[in-house]
A and B are shown apart, each in its own frame.
Chain A
Amino acid sequence: MNDFTIIRRSLAARKLSTVFTSLSVAVAVALMLVLFMMRDSGRAAFERGSGNMHMLVSADSDPLTAILNSVFLAAPPRRPLEHAKFEQLAAKAPWEYFIPTQIGDSYRGLPVFATTGDFFTKFKPGPDETWRLKSGRFFDKDFEIVLGFRAAEATGLKVGDKIALTHGMPKTRAQMQEEGISGEQPAPHVHEEYKFEVVGILEPTGGAHDRALITGITSAWILHAHDRREKEEHLRDAGAGNKEEEHGHEHDHDHGHEALTTEADLIDSDKKITGVYARVMTRPGSDSSAMIPVVFSQMRTDPTITVAQPTQEINKLFAIVGSVDQILIAMAAVVAASSGISILLALYNSMEQRRRQIAVLRVLGASAGRIFRLVLAESLLLGAIGAAFGVVAALIGARIVASEMKARLGLVIEPSIAPLMGVYVVGGAILLAGIAGLLPAFVAYRTSVAKNLRPLG
Chain B
Amino acid sequence: MNTPATALAIDDLHFTYGRNHFEIAIAALRLEPGEQVLLTGGSGTGKSTILQIIAGLVDPRRGTVRVAGKEMHALHGAARDRFRGAHIGMIFQTFNLLQGFSALENVLAALMFGELPRHEHRGHALGLLKSLGIAKPDALVETMSVGQQQRVAVARAVACRPALVLADEPTASLDPENSAAAIELIQRTCSESGAALLCTSHDPAMKARFPRVESLDDLRRPIATGTGAGA
26 contacts between A and B (CB under 8 A): A1-B109, A1-B121, A2-B112, A6-B109, A9-B105, A13-B99, A356-B96, A357-B99, A361-B98, A363-B96, A364-B109, A364-B113, A365-B82, A365-B86, A366-B85, A367-B78, A367-B81, A367-B82, A368-B77, A369-B78, A370-B81, A453-B52, A454-B168, A457-B44, A457-B48, A457-B49
Pick the contact of A365 from B43, B45, B84, B121 — CB < 8 Å? Answer: B84
Which are the 8 A-B pairs with shortest beta-carbon distances? A365-B85, A365-B113, A1-B108, A367-B78, A367-B81, A13-B100, A457-B44, A449-B57
How many interface contacts (CB-CB < 8 Å) are there between A and B?
Answer: 92
Q: Dominant SS at the A interface? A: helix
Which residues in B have some Cβ–Cβ distance to A below 8 Å?
Answer: 17, 43-49, 52, 55, 57-58, 77-78, 81-82, 84-86, 90, 92-94, 96-101, 105, 108-114, 121, 156, 160, 168
Name the residue of chain A whose CB is nearest to the CB of B97.
A360
Could you list 17 further interchain pairs (A-B, Cβ under 8 angstroms) beyond the known A453-B57, A454-B48?
A: A1-B109, A362-B81, A363-B96, A365-B81, A365-B84, A365-B114, A365-B160, A367-B78, A368-B77, A370-B78, A370-B81, A449-B57, A453-B92, A454-B94, A456-B48, A457-B46, A457-B48
**Which residues does chain A contribute within 8 Å of B94, judged by CB atoms?**
454
Chain A 229-273 against B: per-residue CB contact (8 Å), 1 yes, 0 no?
000000000000000000000000000000000000000000000
**Assuming the A-B contacts A357-B98, A367-B78, are A456 and B112 also in contact, with contact meaning beta carbons closer than 8 angstroms in the complex?**
no
Q: Which of A10, A364, A367 has most chain B Cβ within 10 Å?
A: A364
Q: Which of A9, A356, A366, A453 contacts B113 (CB 8 A)?
A: A366
Contact yes or no, B58 A450, CB < 8 A: yes
Query: Residues of A contacting B86 with CB < 8 Å?
Result: 365
Residues from chain B with a CB closer than 8 A to the CB of A357 are 98-99
Q: Within the assembled complex, what's the spacing in Å between the Cα atoms of A13 and B99?
A: 9
Interface residues of A in 197-214 (CB under 8 A from B): none
Chain A contributes a number of interface residues (CB within 8 A of B) equal to 28
B40 CB, nearest partner CB in chain A, Å: 14
Return chain A residues, CB-CB under 8 Å to B93.
Answer: 454
Tell me if A12 is interfacial: C-beta within 8 Å of chain B. yes
Kindly report which residue of chain A lies nearest to residue B45, judged by CB atoms.
A457
In the bound assembly, the distance between CA atoms of A417 and B46 in angstroms comes to 63
The residue of chain A having its C-beta at the shortest distance from the C-beta of B83 within the complex is A365
